[in-house]
Structures are given as structure tokens and as C-alpha cells.
Structure 1
């Protein structure tokens, strides 16, 4: 497959029209399944209310647009795989390219919330089916035969009685004049030829042979390079700088101040612009900047932890819950602590911007094209239709590359120097400047009745609430206690049916440290606290942890997952020589259960022997992608549990590279076994639900073997 490079949507449409009229189909932005035609020669006339995915030219070439970013999670494969199934073409017949930001044509384009399949599969299947039926309709009229006598296969329409066939390319011109059929009947799952099959990903060969274009690979004629010296205390202002030595570096063109928008604040820096990245980096090394760090707090990790512990005490009592808790037969209280984390994508942030008069064009590893387009339009005062955001492949994202701060900074520099510029963040820039996953503390209380059931459950959360950074209020400014939905992330919903008295609340901790979502936002910390505490309650009740969860998850779907998880792990046959831990979490439309097995090695140190994961994501596209995503989630969860954390000292991040922010290595990675539930449930999430169960399952396994409860992450496995 050859991927289209350096081609705008307008040029793509112009070029496809050279070989004849292309049939381009889309589904309405409103989410209806109605499908309409966009004529490739007049796309703007009918395209303002449409999203477009499929183009077929007269030669029979099929192009499928991927409107979501690809950061390793597999949408580059999954989106075309869904459309191609109903279109009746093989993926080796398809060219795929990324759509630029265009919400009027493609609808929402964020890569977040594990939404790409679960949010789009019905619409995309309908798009493929409608295109197929239109092509069949043209063929039946040419042959003067009944529609029931014809079918599509491998890009051809075939007449069953005679065996005659016509390729899509010979039918597309006439098909482009038809009114698309509405609500075409879709295939049953058992009729699928490519959905549900472990097809090889189309992006893997490109990434292996080096032709895949990531942000750093993109180059423009006349492009300059920039690196930015930014305040290590996040909110510091530039008091003054000395660039005399910087300007003496060959290749350095300009040195200028720049302010990038981070939530509700402007973070300042000094940009060094040069004709090569090397020159820009060398120029920054000798740049002298004096920062004004007054007017905001300079917290360290201990100060933040102390503040959160105090905030756990602030929510007022719930009389109804307190009465239920006091009347419980057995009671338990515990506090769980999780740290700040860096996103640490393998590809650091980078972005190319070219600002000209009343236009902006962006290229880079963009995770949320629509938001960045809208943000640049508003901040730069340029009409949204004049802001083009082009997505390249992403070397990881985890939420960080959905944020609009780094394209905004690049656009400001490009405007100031009147040239295209690529702004590159070094690994140290990327890891020490955030935004970070917030640290979080959870105070849990639970009571067991005389039947061994949870009678009362409470969780109080102290953390920097995601999104509070939009507020312009001065720091620190503690918010009053209250409910925040993030406290419930990761908790299986049937618990709320089984537990008669529950209470959730929390206090938002204020800090100048910027925080944002990190893979499985809030569930990655709340899931650890919740499923660790449920396990503690199971032991308080004297029950098997799996059976205890079964009695509190009164839902057929969860019961089926527990049955299969127990069967594939041989839970009931586990021996005494290993510790076994289980955890079940639900988030972003997916349910995932992990069983972790730990053993004591001959040298006395603990070792994670095996992880068994079972994910219920309902209707799914490609089992290989699912397994890869869950495996990656487990390894990422492993790192956050026993390897790395971002700590702060005097308002600055301590860990700036992988020498201190240690990543899991191959030798740390246990055997991982991933299973997928088969059912008729709607499509759910995959990329995020696979992470939250790992840490609690690991800690529950350690308790099973050692009798020691781990309530603080990260911890050193070799020291347990």
C-alpha cells in the first residue's frame, strides 16, 4: 500500500477528478444513518453538513479517509476495516490517508475516551453498505436484471446467474448521480469476512520500513527550527534574558519571548530560532534567562501530599451513610495514595506551523484536530475555515497530544518570524513541563453486614480535579468539598445496585502544577483504590475475593465475565505457592478483569509470574488490535505501579529523563495472556479500560502471598 503524502484535501479532490468523477460518501454530522453524496468536483456545495470517508475513482481505486489520529492504538486499521466490510473490498485494495481537521465534514475527531469504534461503528458500517448498494443498483440497471440476482465482492458487482461482473470503477460515475439508500440492512456478525478477523495492520509495514510520517519527519521548504527555554516552575515570567552568546552560534536567526496557553494561563518562554535543530539546541544551551517566580506557590511532593491528606478531612458527614456505617457488623478504613505521572510518550512533542496573512496550517502528531483548529482560530483571530490542521502518525499520545498548547506556541513563533517553523521539545522539556497526571489520595470506609455483604461504602478523594486549571483564580485557592464524577471512574456500575448505602465526595487540591488526563483518566487511580478496598472488604468478610465480587455484581454481563475469568485462570484450583489477585473495573464503555499471579523467587524477591486479562468490549473489529492494546495497558500500568512517578521539589519537576523516570524493561514484563469476551453487546472501549485493573490486581496478589497490603504507589517490588 502506498500512503498519500503532502496532499491537502482540496488537492486530493482535484486529483481524483482528473481520472473521472469520484463517488464520495459520508454520514451526517448529527449522527443519523442517512448517507449522502458529495460530488468530488463540487465538494463545497454539499459538504458543509457532511463527514466524508470513501472515494472511488473511475479506475476502481478506493480511498478511505481515517478521521481519527493514529498513536499506536490501531484506528488507522480499524476504521477502514469497518467500512471495507460493508463496501465489499479487501484492505489490500484500499489507500488510507488522514483527514485534516474539518468538523463540518468529518464530525468530532478527538482520539480520547476509547471512542473511535464505539462511537462510530454503526455510522461507518452504514456508509460502506450504502455505497455498495448504489454500485449494485447501477449494475442491475445496465444488465436489466433484478437486484436480488446481484451481489458485490472484492470491488466488483457480480450477476449470480450469468457470472458477469463489473468493477466499481466502471460504475462509479453513474452511481454518483443516485440518491443514496437510507438505512440499508447491515450484515449479521456471522456474515463478516474481515471484521472480527486478526488482519495485519496497514500501518505496521510503513513503520518498519520508515515510510510512515511522524511529526518530526515532516519538512517544508524554507522551514526553520525552534526550541524554547521555558520556566521550570511552570508559571514563571521572563524578567530578562541575555542572548549575546546564543546569537553567536552559527545558524541562529532570532531569539524572542513567547507565551503559550495552558488552560486558563499563559506560560512564558524564550524561543531560539535557527536554520537547523542542532543550532537551535546549541543556542539554547548558552541562553541566560532570569525568571520572576513570585506570586505563586512552589510546592514539593511532600507539601502536595500533606495538603491532600488534610483535604481528605474536609468533606462534611453524610448522616444517612454514617448511620449505616455505624450499624455495620464489621468496619474497615483505608487510605490509598497514587503519584503524579508524566505522559512520557516515546515521541516528544513537536509541531510545524506556518502562519501567512489570514491563514494557519499545522502539521504534527495531533491527537485532537478539531479542538486545536478551534483553539487556534479563537486565539489567533483567524476564521476556522482558514485554519488547517494536518495529522501525522503519533509516537504515543495518552491524552497529552490532544492539548492545544504546543500548536499554539508554534503558531505564535511562526507569526513572529514570518516563516514556517518546527518547534521541537526535547525529552527533558516533555517530561519536566507537564501537564501531568495528578496525584490522588482516596480515603475509603466500608461496613459489612451480618450476611457478609457490603452495607456501606464511602470514598473521599483529594486531588487536583481535571479541568480546574481553566479557572483564572489565584493559586493556592482550596475549593470547597463536593462531589466529582472522577471519584467513580473505574468502579463497576452494578456495585451501585448491590450496595444499599454509598457516599462519594472530595476536595479539589489547588496547585500551580498543570494537570490533565492520562490514559484512562481518573480510573487509573480511582480503580486502584476502589478494587483494592473491595478486596480488603472481601477478606474482612472472610470470603473468596472472586465470590465476593460475584455477589456484588448482580448483572448478567458481569456474571458472564466472572465465570469466564474464573475458568480461564483456573481460579478455584490455585495452589498455596503463589499469590493470586483479581480486580474488575469498568470505564469508557469497556469492562476488564485482571488476574495477577506473584511468586517468591529463590533469592527471596517477589516476581510477577503471569497476568491474565479478560476484556468485554462488546462488538469489536480486530482481535489482534485488542490484545495489543490490553498488553500495552498492562505494561503501562506496571510502570506506574512499581517503576516511575513524577516528584517535585521547590516547584520544579525532579525527573527529567528515563535515567530517573525508569520505564519497565523486557525483563520486568511478565507473561501476559489476553482473552476477549464474545457477546452481542454494543461496541465499547479498549485502549483505556485495559489499564485500571492491573495495579489493584497486583497488590491484591501480593497480599494473598505475603499478608501485606500495598496502599501507596509506586512501590519497589523487590523490597516487599
Structure 2
């Protein structure tokens, strides 16, 4: 599928503004509190450049726009499924395109924080219902009949008394002249035909028959190919290089130094440009480079965690959240726990390596690639190249995984720099070794957790975390604590536990860190939920009963009921280990129960995982379940298989031979259950990850009596 076969601007001007199509989108005025629905005629009248989520031509062909990236999480299906529901069209009969990056036209397009559906579903429902009502009004006008006698179904408007029909294409000219209704009545969930149904994904056929265009598939006339040899240490500088051997490699065109932006600093590298990626890689191997790596610490993994543990003991840190008097209660409590947990650095390691195509021209810079944050790229590139934003065009392709890494700006910046130097379109490709050794990574974090039990009740919690702060890399004041330190911790606890505090102990090293699936909840969840399980044991209480006491809101109580029901918690077997954890992030709560067996000379085996997700309003149950399953597999790898380690400032892992991914036979059966309620939509792509590790280690303790407080660990060593 070619997502940008024609210019959207020309597409809209040629069709919608000529009155031969119905085009409906949003306008985001800077001084308004919320977006406004805009028709093409309205855009022309006010001088606003039109965006379009819905476009219907005179043939009745419907084009729906996905304003977010599709990296496997299902937005290519879910966004159109929402629109098609209220628009009353068959999803199989519509064309789906990706929007270009443009915050002013499309609002927030960052595919992160599990925000695509929860951040836009209400306005998408309203937009598509508005288009439907405009078509009904147009049909009623043609029949000289009340609109109340008409209804829409399967891309047509039908007159109930007579049975007359118009397909949408016959109505678009009249409908395009109407104003969008101010208020529309949305369907009840019980009346949905598409939403809530496990419809087959529209992108699956494209990805199996070769039609889907990923970044590596993009080709332009005269395109060159590039790889970059980057300094293996972020702060290192290029001292010198000899390109004579590289230039002798057949196909190599040019070799030159570049400096790519990495947050507030720049990374030195040497670009090799050739007529094929293979030639560029061979040319890079022939380079002779001398780096200057003096002037900063060459960190090691052992040193990182030693320093983190030292400052956890000796520094109070910055207060991130506080209620009551945790310190006072802890000092006086007769029974208390004080333990430390460690979580590792992790690579994103998306199956599709980083890549980007750029074409720099004096009056325009266009980019194509697997990009999670197109408007961020547009902002950054326009600043770096001193171009107006409208001159920087960012086109999204399909992504072969992202997990937060492809919301970063370094690889598009590289492509743009090299294209400008070569005065030609260029595709930059990162090898797996480039990706794994350069980062940015999920930061490894150490936690000191303290808790008090008074008269059998949890009376105080104090959490201190020492780890890198993404906000500091992005320019936040160093005096500002990491506001995500409490991420993953459920809000109802604040109502039932009087004394809670979170402290961020600043920790900085020259290793770039960035978002990783579920961000800080992925590490926080392990520490906080593991600690709650330890506190439950100290209080002599069942883990789920213990949580019931402090998660008093109705949704949490029902979630725990469901966890007990599906896992058989109350009747669990004596010769197996059962563990549990409940975390919340991005508006969604997920509880998991893990069952293990083995031990005592037998290999430990994960027998089953039960996951219960309360994400409120949702679109497609199959996508929800797939995302939870994928999150659990990723969590399994991060807990038991892989980590990024450092020696003398260099990453020790280079590819999947020493950054071991779970294989099919490592993955246990996973059973996913979705809670049904009328709550607002929460996120789906990330919340399934954080509870797995603490539930697994709790199950191992239940079976063996061994507490695991450091990740990763080997199941074979238990």
C-alpha cells in the first residue's frame, strides 16, 4: 500500500474544494479550548488548510485517515473501525491512508503513552456521526422529506416510508455545502455494529501479500543509500578518519563526518553513502577511524548499580509525591520492611531496524519512514535546518515495531543531513548492531522500598528510586523530580493508606535513555508490586485479600473478583506456585496471576498466565488481547532473558545471539479477559506489561520460598 501516492493538499483542493466530495475534519484554533469540526467549504471560507479524516467522493468511495502510526498496535484498524461505526459504512469497502505529520492540522499525532484511542475516540465518533447526519440531511432535501424519516446504512441513505435509496456518492455535492451540525446523537454501545467486535485487521492482508509499505520499502528515483559509523560512546568525539579504503569499495560515492542530535547534545559519526545498502556497509567496514573518548567516565554495569544503591542509602532525594508522615510512622512501627529492587537497562530491539528516507531540496525537505512522532520530527528538523514547518513534510509508513524508540529524532536527522550533503534522496539504514549498541535505552533503576505494618494493617509506604530521568535529557530542570516515579501505582491506594511518599534520587550517567513500552511503569511495577506481595506475607495475609483491603473502589474490586474467578485462586493447587500483581498506567488497570511448577531439582516452568484488563471503552477485543499477549512476551524477556550491560562505557550486547529473546517454546499459555463497563477508554498497547514480572517472582516465592529482587534472572537457575 502506497500511503502517499498523491499529495493530500492537492487531493483535497482538487476534489473537496471543487464541491465534488464531502470532506470532514478538524480545525485546531490556537485560542480555542477544543477542536472544531470543519468542512472543506468552511476551510476555504476561513482560509484554513483542511485536514480530512473522512473523504467521500461522487462514486461513494470513502477514504479514512489514520492520524497515528501503525506499529503493530492496531491503530490502522481501530481508528477506521471507530469512524466506520458512526458513518455507517462497511469497513471492507473503504481506503485507509496515513496522515502526514502536522500538529496544527491533526493535533497530537504521537503514538505513545497508549493514547491513540483514549485520546481521540470521542471526537472521532462525533466527526463520523456529523458526516452521517449531513448526508441524511442532503438526502432528505432531495426527497423533500423530513430527515427523521431517513436513516443511513451500509454507505446509503434510505427513506423509510418509500424505501428509496441514495448511495453516499450521490449526496456528497449537496452535503458538502452544509454546515456541520453542532450536536449529534451518538449510538449507545448496545447498538454498535462494528465497535466491540473482533473484526479482522485491515492491515493483515497487506502485510502478508507484500503490499504494505514499510520504511525499508520506500524508493525514490535516484535514491542513494547510507550507513553511519557512530562513536560507540555518546560523548566521544571524532579525532580523525581515513576513507581511502572505503572509497575503493565498488558503489561507494562519498564519505564524510556528520553530527546527529541526541537530546541536548550531538553524536559524532562518519557517513558512508553508496548506490546500495550492501556497498555502504562494506565501505563502512573499510573505514579507519580514531575516536577521542577522553573527558568523561567510562561506566560499567556493576558501577551503575553500586552507585545507585549507595545514593539510595545516603540521599533523601527530591520529593515527587507525599501524603501523611511516612518517616514518622516507619520510625515508630514495630514491624517494618526495608528492601531494595533492581531493574536492568533494556534495548527496544524492534524487529524492523531503524531506517529513514529523506530528500533535501532548497525549498522543501521531505521525509518517509517508520516514525512514531511525526510532528516532533517536523518540529526538530525545521529547527535544525532553519526551515518553516510547512516546508518539512513527514510521511509515515508502517512500522515493524517501535516501543518508544521510533518516537526519537536521531535517525530522521541523520537522513536529512546526508541528503543535504549529497543533494539527492537518501535512505539511512541502521544494522541490528547499530541499534543495540547506540541506544537510547530503557534506564535501569534501583528502588529502596520501606513499609510499616501496624496492628496487621499497612500504615506507611516510602519508595525511593535512583535512575535516569528522561525529562532531564529533554531539558527539564535538574531540580525537578521525575514525576513518573509513581507511575504504575494504583490511585485508590492513596485513599486507603494514610502515609505514602515517593522520592526521586537524581542519578546521571552518559547513557541516553528514552521511553520503552509502558515507560517507568515497567520498572516501578516490579518494585512496588513485589513489595506489596512481601508486605502481604509479613502481615500473614493472602496477596489478593491484602489488595482488596486497600483497593476499595468498585472497579478494582470487580477486577480482583475476575482474577480470582478465572485463575481458580481460592482453590489453587498445593504443588504449584501462584503469584499476582495489579498495576495501572495510561488509564488502564491490569491484574495478572501467574502459575509456576517445578523446582527442587526440576526445571521451573511457567504453566499459565491469566490477565484481566480494565481499559473501559474499547474498540476491538482481538486487538486488546493481542496487545496484552505481546506485552507479556516482552515482559517475560525483560524479566528472564535479556538486559543491556556496559563495560568501560561500551555496550556488551550486539545482536540476538547475546541479547536473547523468548522463543515460541518459552512462552506460556496466556488467557486474557476484558472487563466490561461504561468508563472512558484507557490505553491498551502498554498496560499489560508491568504486572507480569512481579506476579512471576511472587509465584516463584510461593513455590520455592525464594524472593527475587533483581532482574533479569534465569528460570534455569531457580
TM-score bracket for this pair, using the shorter chain length: over 0.9
Distance of 1:250 and 1:118 partners within structure 2: 51
* TM-score normalized by the length of structure 2: 0.96
Question: What CA deviation, in whole Å up to 9, does each residue of 1:154-212 have, x standing for no partner?
Answer: 00000111111000000000100001101201000000000000000000000011110
- From 440, 443, 465, the equivalent of 1:438 is 443
1:483 shift after superposition: 4.1
SS of 1:166's equivalent in the other structure is strand
Shift of the alpha carbon at 1:3? 5.8
1:54-203 correspondence to structure 2 within 5 Å: 54-203=54-203
Could you tell me which residue of structure 2 aligns to residue 37 of structure 1? 39
State the match for 2:402 in structure 1.
Answer: 397
Matches within 5 A, 1:332-347: 332-347=337-352
Shift of 1:48: 3.3
**Aligned-partner SS, 2:465:** strand
Query: Shift of residue 288 of structure 1?
Result: 0.8
- TM-score normalised by structure 1 residue count: 0.96
Find the counterpart in structure 2 of residue 28 from structure 1. 27
Q: Residue 381 of structure 2 aligns with which residue?
A: 376
Hey, what's the Cα distance between the residues in 2 that align with 1:603 and 1:447?
A: 36
Structure 1: gaps spanning 5 or more residues: 474-478
- Is the Cα–Cα contact under 8 Å of residues 529 and 581 in structure 2 kept in the other structure? yes
Contact kept? 1:38, 1:46, Cα under 8 Å? no
Alpha carbon RMSD of aligned pairs, Å? 1.8
* Residue of structure 2 in register with 1:505 after alignment: 503
Provide closer, same or farther for how the CA distance between residues 345 and 644 of structure 1 changes in structure 2, counting only shifts above 3 A.
same
Residue 308 of structure 1 corresponds to which residue in structure 2? 308
Kept after mapping to 2: 8 A contact 1:642/1:714: yes
Pairing of 1:525-674 with structure 2 (within 5 A): 525-600=523-598, 604-674=602-672
- 2:17–2:44 CA contact under 8 A, matched in 1: no
- Tell me, yes or no, if the aligned pair for 1:47 and 1:105 is still in contact at 8 Å: no
> Matched residues in 2 for 1:25 and 1:346: separation?
36
Shift, 1:309, TM fit: 1.0
Q: Answer yes or no: is 1:13 the counterpart of 2:12.
A: yes
Residues 88 and 155, structure 1, Cα contact 8 Å, conserved in 2: yes
CA distance in 1, matches of 2:387, 2:170: 43
- Shift in Å at residue 405 of structure 1? 1.1
Gaps in structure 2 of 5+ consecutive residues: none
CA drift of 1:51 comes to 4.5
The answer as to 2:415 corresponding to 1:410 is yes
| Cα deviations by residue, 1:367-399 (Å, 9 ceiling, x for unpaired) | 000000011001110000010000000000000
Q: Distance in 1 between matches of 2:399 and 2:644?
A: 23
> Structure 1 CA distance, aligned partners of 2:588 and 2:435?
30
**2:425 matches 1:425:** no
Give 1:75 shift. 0.3
- Post-superposition CA distance 1:88-141 (Å, at most 9, x none): 001011100001012222111000010000000110000000000000001111
Asked whether the equivalents of residues 264 and 472 of structure 1 are also in contact (C-alpha less than 8 Å), the reply is no
**Residue 502 of structure 1: CA displacement?**
1.2
Q: Is the 8 A contact 2:343 2:712 kept in 1?
A: yes
Provide, for residues 480-529 of structure 1, a one-character-per-residue CA deviation record: whole Å limited to 9, x for no partner.
7x743222010011111111111111212111111111000100000000
**Residues in 2 aligned to 1:522 and 1:71: alpha-carbon distance in whole angstroms:** 21
Displacement after TM superposition at 1:18 (Å): 11
Quickly say closer, same or farther: Cα 1:470–1:18, change in 2 above 3 A. closer
Q: Which residue of 2 aligns with 1:214?
A: 214
SS of the equivalent of 1:432 reads: helix
Change (3 A) 1:100 1:544: same
Equivalent residue of 2:545, what SS?
A: helix
Matched position secondary structure for 1:116: coil
User: Is the contact made by 1:594 and 1:614 (CA closer than 8 Å) also made in structure 2?
Assistant: yes
| Equivalent residue, structure 1, for 2:270 | 270
Please give the alpha-carbon distance, in whole angstroms, between the structure 2 residues aligned to 1:533 and 1:527. 10
Q: Distance in 1 between matches of 2:50 and 2:584?
A: 33
Aligned residue in 1 for 2:463 = 459
Moved more, 63-72 or 460-469: 460-469
Are 1:468 and 2:472 matched, yes or no? yes
Structure 1 Cα separation of the partners of residues 583 and 284 of structure 2: 46
**TM-fit CA distance, 1:50:** 5.9
CA contact (8 A) 2:347 2:439 kept: yes
Greater alpha carbon shift after TM alignment, 329-338 vs 266-275? 329-338
1:476 aligns to what? none
The equivalent residue for 2:353 is 348
Aligned equivalents of 2:353 and 2:45: distance in 1?
40
| 1:448 and 2:482 are equivalent in the alignment | no
Q: Give the Cα separation in 2 of the matches to 1:33 and 1:422.
A: 36
The 3-state SS of whatever aligns with 2:411 is helix
Cα distance change on mapping 1:286 and 1:270 into 2, 3 Å: same
The CA distance in 2 between the partners of 1:6 and 1:33, in whole Å, is 28
What count of residue pairs does the alignment treat as equivalent?
A: 710
